[in-house]
């Protein structure tokens, strides 16, 4: 097992569990709704779902990547979240959660098998390299901090929508 996943794997798995908790009781018909200017759960989960397929080729596992260009168009960094009042813009909650969980499990397995020397090498993503100089640094952010940042948005959204805490 890679050193990265030896250290971060348990927390990364816990993050997936938290994602299921924080979204579990949100009614599907509300999943795409914004609260004022706050991103919707649909947008947050969709956004998080595209990153495993960006990371896999960098890990030398393009064979495991399954990017969906329609999701990238909806959820890439810089794309504005829109209120999906009638559920016609974003995929259904079940599809969003299924893809999020499945793609993260795939990238976690690839990270477990990744060579430490590869992870210690230069980050191939030029835009992210100033913040995360190594591939491992970028991967660690994408499987921990990035996810928790957006899951925290969902937690705040829950409170604003009157759903209360998930824990």
Task: Convert the pLDDT of each residue in 25-39 to its tens digit.
Answer: 999 999 999 999 999
Q: Is residue 22 part of a domain?
A: yes
Q: Is residue 77 part of a domain?
A: yes
The pLDDT score that the predictor gives to residue 128 is 95
Q: Is residue 94 part of a domain?
A: yes
Q: What is the CATH number of the domain that holds 151?
A: 1.20.120.450
Work out how many domains the chain is built from and give that number. Answer: 1
Q: What is the pLDDT of residues 48-80, one digit of tens each?
A: 999 999 999 999 999 999 999 999 999 999 999
Regions of the chain short of the pLDDT cut 50:
none
Structure tokens at 85: 């009042």
Domain span including residue 54: 3-160
Backbone angles phi, psi at 25, to 5 degrees: -100, 10
Q: Is residue 74 part of a domain?
A: yes
Structure tokens at 144: 């921990």
Q: Is residue 8 part of a domain?
A: yes
The pLDDT score that the predictor gives to residue 167 is 87
Q: Is residue 166 part of a domain?
A: no
Q: Is residue 122 part of a domain?
A: yes
Q: Is residue 167 part of a domain?
A: no
Q: What is the pTM of this model?
A: 0.97
């Amino acid at each position: 097992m890679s050193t990265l996943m030896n250290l971060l794997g348990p927390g990364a798995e816990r993050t997936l569990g938290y994602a299921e908790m924080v979204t579990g009781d949100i009614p599907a018909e509300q999943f795409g709704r914004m609260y004022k200017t706050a991103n919707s759960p649909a947008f947050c989960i969709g956004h998080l779902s595209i990153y495993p397929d960006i990371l896999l080729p960098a890990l030398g596992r393009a064979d495991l990547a399954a990017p969906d260009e329609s999701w990238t168009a909806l959820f890439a960094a810089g794309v504005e979240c829109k209120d999906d009042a009638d559920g016609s813009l974003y995929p259904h909650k079940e599809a969003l959660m299924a893809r999020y969980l499945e793609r993260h499990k795939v990238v976690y397995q690839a990270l477990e098998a990744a060579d430490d020397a590869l992870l210690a090498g230069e980050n191939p993503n030029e835009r992210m390299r100033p913040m995360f100089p190594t591939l491992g640094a970028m991967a660690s952010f994408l499987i921990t901090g990035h996810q928790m940042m957006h899951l925290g948005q969902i937690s705040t959204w829950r409170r604003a929508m009157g759903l209360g805490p998930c824990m």
